């Protein structure tokens, strides 16, 4: 079956865009949603960057997202030519999703949600093109924004490894800036924005996946949920040095954080 054979819902699908910072667990969350029968979530299709940069039309680019997500659903990211190496290098605890693609509970039905998991890139595109991004949200009420947050210190440590950033304070500043900007942007759109914490998702994946799918207007069948929850590992506690905590408070103050990071300060 190719993407042309996948049935679409009668109404235009929800377009789900991940926003926020890198290294927050968004890859895991995107692939969990991509296993849902009614969802196709691509990993880093760069939909918003290309659209706001004038490198394609909405429908054509969304079709590319759909095709990319379908291929990644079938193969699993751990077998994807582009992402396999980085997954194994930077996410050693990654649990492969490919075996679940053939599970009856994950069989694709009518596609009602098409999304792009590129949180940092989407947020940077919004920062670079704020007027165009605002107009896009007005023109396409089907667009929804999903943000997953992770302890900024842990995200910064991971960002240093994956992006070759030498200084912790620089990595932390990037994480905090993108996290806070995304939260401010998302909250402008009320019920079109959903935010959750990585640590909470890992602690109780069933509850948070159920809540997320309810927000998207999609069913959360017990059989599907049982299979998905089984591949989510518990998050490890984050231990911060005095210096790291101080740096986090300063970074939050520098961007005028209005409570989004309160749980981590």
What is the predicted pLDDT for the residue at 73? Answer: 92
Residue 48's DSSP bridge partners are none
Q: In 3-state terms, what secondary structure has residue 184?
A: helix
Do residues 138 and 222 make contact, with C-beta atoms less than 8 angstroms apart? no
User: Mean pLDDT throughout 142-148?
Assistant: 97
Per-residue pLDDT tens digits for 220-245? 999 999 999 988 888 888 899 999 99
CATH code, domain with 156: 3.40.50
- The secondary structure of 95-108 as a DSSP string is ---GGGGGSGGG--
User: Mean pLDDT throughout 157-173?
Assistant: 94
Domain of 181 in residue numbering reads as 3-264
- pLDDT of 113 strictly over 90: yes
Share of the chain above pLDDT 90, in %: 77
What is the predicted pLDDT for the residue at 5? Answer: 67
How many independent structural domains does the chain possess?
1
What is the predicted pLDDT for the residue at 95? Answer: 75
DSSP state of 8: B
Phi-psi sector, 217: left (phi>0), alpha (psi -120 to 50), beta: left
Give the distance from CA 253 to its chain's centroid: 25
What is the predicted pLDDT for the residue at 9? Answer: 62
- pLDDT of 3 strictly over 70: no
Band (180; pLDDT cuts 50, 70, 90): very high
Structure-block tokens of residue 32: 């969990």
Q: Which of 66, 67, 84, 99 is nearest to 27 (CA)?
A: 84
What is the predicted pLDDT for the residue at 1? Answer: 60
- pLDDT of 39 strictly over 80: yes
Distances (CA, A) of 207 to 151, 169, 215, 226: 20, 34, 12, 12
């Amino acid at each position: 079956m190719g993407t042309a054979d996948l049935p679409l819902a009668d109404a235009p699908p929800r377009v789900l865009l991940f926003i926020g910072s890198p290294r927050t667990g968004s890859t895991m969350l995107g692939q969990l949603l991509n296993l849902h029968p009614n969802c196709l979530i691509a990993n880093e299709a760069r939909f918003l960057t290309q659209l706001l940069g004038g490198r394609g039309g909405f429908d054509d680019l969304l079709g590319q997202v759909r095709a990319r997500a379908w291929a990644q659903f079938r193969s699993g990211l751990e077998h994807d030519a582009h992402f396999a190496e980085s997954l194994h290098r930077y996410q050693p605890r990654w649990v492969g999703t490919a075996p679940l693609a053939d599970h009856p509970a994950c069989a694709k039905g009518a596609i009602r949600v098409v999304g792009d998991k590129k949180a940092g890139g989407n947020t940077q595109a919004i920062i670079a093109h704020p007027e165009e991004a605002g107009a896009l949200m007005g023109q396409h009420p089907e667009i929804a924004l999903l943000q997953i947050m992770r302890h900024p210190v842990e995200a910064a440590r991971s960002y240093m490894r994956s992006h070759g950033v030498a200084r912790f304070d620089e990595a932390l500043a990037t994480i905090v800036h993108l996290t806070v900007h995304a939260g401010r942007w998302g909250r402008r759109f009320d019920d079109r924005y959903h935010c959750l914490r990585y640590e909470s998702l890992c602690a109780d994946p069933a509850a948070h996946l159920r809540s997320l799918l309810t927000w998207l207007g999609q069913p959360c069948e017990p059989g599907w949920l049982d299979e998905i929850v089984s591949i989510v590992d518990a998050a490890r506690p984050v231990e911060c040095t005095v210096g790291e905590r101080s740096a986090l408070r300063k970074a939050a103050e520098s961007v005028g954080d209005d409570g989004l990071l309160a749980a981590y300060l």
